[in-house]
Chain A
Amino acid sequence: MLANRKLILAHFWLAFAVFGVALTLGAWQMFIRSPIGTWLSDPELYYRSLTAHGTVMGYVFPTLVAMGFGYAIAESALEQRLVGVRWAWTGFGLIVAGSIMAVIPIALGRASVLYTFYPPLIGNVFYYLGVVLVVVGSWIWVALMSLNLRIWRKAHPGAPVPLAMFANVAGSYLWAWTAVGAALELLLQIIPVAAGLKNTIDAGLARIFFSWTLHAIVYFWLMPTYIAYYTIVPRAIGGRVYSDSMARISFILFLVVAMPIGMHHTFADPMVGAGFKFIHSTFTALVALPTLLTVFTICASVEIAARLRGGRGMFGWIRALPWDNPMMLALAFSFVMLGFGGAGGLINMSYQLDASIHNTQWITGHFHLIFGGAIVIMYFAIAYDLWPHLTGRELIDVRLIRTQLWLWFIGMIVTTFPWHWVGILGMPRRMAYFDFGDPAIAPQALSVTFSAIGGFILLTSGLMFIVILARGMRAPQVDAGPYRFAIAVHQPKTVPVALNTHALWVALMIALTLTNYGYPILNLALSSGTSVPAVYVGAQ
């Protein structure tokens, strides 16, 4: 049993509670701007809801899941007492305080700037301060992950760091560095304006800072999912990790190339030179590499499980997989969504192809498929897998769990595929309503209606998930035993120092940030006449 169950449960419960609220808002948004809803007489309400949905789903929910899971990994993979529990609670407290501080101005309509901030739009200063508190809270977790690993290393000099912890710490370092971009944007650019100290803002520079955060944050969201692929799924389905080294190389590659690629979000922005856009585009292509390595390794790991279960033939082993096991199901769904989402991502990262889908519903479809689909379905899997170890009670209703996962998969496909389609047809994103009565877009009404129905399937599945976990708190008690991670076919006895530490890869991550972001940032920071008047939301 895990020692700090309350701490981990607090993170998970807060994460899933805010997820439930944000999911409900999301379904309402899908409905209200579809042909089945009536137009809002106050479109500002839509943007209020959108800001809350994005802020919770982008900053609060995945951060809490990564933190809770991280604490569980630190304790179980390292098999030592978690050091800094009081600090961990402080971090959690900061996230609670920050979330409340951010959500009040959003609810009052004083911060309808969307979670990506969009300067020169400026909302109430407490919204931004709330986001800063959430980030600071998560940085405490980063420090604790690093500290606990350091303590373990001292006690086990030269021993291979367990894969789960190695990946977990890689994820925490990635987050620590990628959050710096948004932190710089908030502290240097937005908060002085929101606090009334300045009334102009360099929107271009602010957008570059945000792109620093905005792509690597996706890989931070992805880390728990990849950790689950490598260290939970093979164990849960009775297999082995095909290659421990390949897993380490994948996480290392994420650390190095997830960071210097964010400017593919600013392809349509004039303040970045085309040469830098090309470099970022190329590095974005490289980030497909660790994903392809992972897909290969996990497929091989799963094949091991199938062959151990008696599967035969070139593809015949697939039938021998334990398809009634929720972990197997979640993995398969996650891979399918990752495949489609990844293929769409290759279009987004291509300078020319991006031009046809930039700022359309395609983009919204893309990141919902990747994050809401491939990533979040594994968050469910992580919660299901950890729950008995956290509560000391069994999750009995496996059939309900399978239904929930199926519904999430179906809902996400039904939501995002039409979304991509209308995006190709040119439907813009961030609109409170569309005039489907107009012949120009009337044919898209059907696709958007399907998409909205998908939203409600997702809502149903999300609420089922919360009900399953809540019922799990009252199920009969069991001894779940110690929490274990998957072991590799060849469990490493020794690991080269480069694959056992993060220093080299963190150094490369920082170096690439400097080469790929240094000049564009300095260029704007040192140029005069690049600021524009701020546009305050909800104030005269």
Chain B
Amino acid sequence: MSTRDLFTLRNSHFRIGVGLTAAILIVTAIGGFIVLPFAQPWVQFANVWDAICSAAGVPQRVASVTAPEQSKRLSEVVLTSNTLARPSQEAIGRGATLAQRCAICHGPTGISRADSPNLAGQYAAVIYKQLHDFRSGARTNAVMSPFAVNLTDQEIADLSNYYAYLPRLPAYHPTPQLPKPNIVIYGAPLRGIAPCGACHGSLDNKTGSPWLEGQSEAYMKAQLQAFATGERRNDISQQMRNIARAMTPQEIEAAAAYYASQPPDVVKAVD
């Protein structure tokens, strides 16, 4: 027998095989697309076609629903790993000129003498995101916001590339290196806290997360507290707020003190 004898209604295997398969498909389709949608008393359908579309997962636009009002601005920065990749020498040069106005707080070499963040050798995507957020108002600071508000997109990109280009120098007031606290090494699995280094550079770097070694202890503590209280809210999907809220005050202090005591050359070279 050839396949011509196979695919014919005269062949009982063909009739039974195809018939049964089609019957099961039709019955399950009626069950899944018509019977079960109407079996949900809490959902109202205009007609059968409406129920079928709903069960099939047809995207629907509901006109009457408006996005909830946000009392504060949220970050609108889109970061990908290609953001700011391969800067030109000109861009870095322009950034250097612009950075003169930052030096009063962040230091002429990108190392702060006050408790402002050190920027020398920070990931470009980090500076790019924070400047955008300061400009849009997603992040606010009495000193920083006025500086950021007049920057153009080009200027933000140039500044980011310039600071990323600078060599990573030790902190201005280095302190003796502290041992790693548990919260930094392991996080706290039951509270949903990942090890800091999983995003912040020593194990892996997630785009938009800064490396923290040698930053000011007071600054990091203040930021963690601001995340915990919700005062700072420009983290994507509440990543840092969820972590900071779950941290104890002692853990916040220990993590800030530990990172402040680290030399920047321990940052894993992932870039």
- Residue of A273, A507, A515 ringed by the most chain B CB atoms within 10 A: A273
Instruction: Point out the residues of chain B lying under 8 angstroms from A539, CB to CB.
Output: 81, 205, 270
A503 interfacial by beta-carbon distance below 8 Å:
yes
Number of interface residues of A (CB under 8 A): 54
Given the contacts A199-B80, A519-B56, A536-B207, A279 and B28 also touching, CB distance less than 8 Å: yes
| With A42-B203, A538-B204: A276-B190 Cβ-Cβ less than 8 Å | no
Task: Give the docked Cα–Cα distance between A438 and B191 (Å).
Answer: 10
Given A272-B57, A505-B17, A497 and B5 contact (CB-CB distance below 8 Å): yes
Q: Which residues of A contact B29 (CB under 8 A)?
A: 275, 279
**A343 interface residue, CB < 8 Å from B?**
no
Residue A310 at the chain B interface, CB threshold 8 Å: no
- Which B residues are CB-close (under 8 A) to A433? 186, 189
Contact status B6-A497, CB under 8 Å: yes
Q: Does B91 contact A (CB under 8 A)?
A: no
CB neighbours of B31 from chain A (8 A): 278, 282
* Residues of A close to B178: CB separation below 8 A: none
Partner of A274, one of B1, B57, B79: B57
Is there a chain A Cβ closer than 8 Å to B49's Cβ? no
Docked pose: A274 CA to B189 CA in angstroms = 33
Closest to B4 in A: A497
Which residues of chain A are near B32, meaning CB under 8 Å? Answer: 274-279, 282
The CA-CA distance from A536 to B80 in the complex, in Å, is 9
A-side contacts of B21, CB under 8 Å: 256, 508, 511-512
Cα–Cα, bound, A537→B205 (Å): 8
Known A-B contacts A275-B36, A536-B207; A498 and B190 likewise in contact (beta carbons under 8 Å)? no
Chain B proximity mask over A497-540: 1 for CB below 8 Å, otherwise 0: 11101011101100110010001100100010000011111111
Contact of A279 among B25, B204, B206 (CB under 8 A): B25
Q: Answer yes or no: B173 CB below 8 A from chain A CBs.
A: no
B37 close to chain A: CB less than 8 A = yes
Docked complex Cα distance between A499 and B1 (Å): 12
Query: Hey, which chain B residues are within 8 Å of A527, CB to CB?
Result: 59
Are B6's CB and A501's CB within 8 A?
A: yes
User: How many angstroms between the C-alpha atoms of A199 and B13 in the bound complex?
Assistant: 50
B79: chain A residues at CB < 8 Å are 533
Task: Check if A434 sits within 8 Å of B189, measured CB to CB.
Answer: yes
Q: Is A155 at the interface (CB under 8 A from chain B)? A: no
Besides A274-B37, A498-B17, 20 new A-B residue pairs in contact (Cβ under 8 A), listed by A number: A41-B185, A43-B195, A199-B80, A274-B54, A275-B56, A276-B55, A279-B28, A286-B24, A496-B13, A497-B1, A498-B13, A504-B6, A504-B17, A504-B18, A507-B7, A533-B79, A533-B80, A534-B81, A538-B204, A540-B207
A-B contact pairs, 10 of them (CB 8 A): A42-B197, A43-B203, A275-B56, A278-B31, A279-B28, A283-B24, A434-B189, A497-B5, A508-B21, A523-B59
Nearest first, the 10 A-B pairs at minimum CB distance are: A273-B57, A275-B55, A498-B13, A278-B32, A275-B32, A497-B1, A199-B80, A275-B33, A282-B28, A540-B271
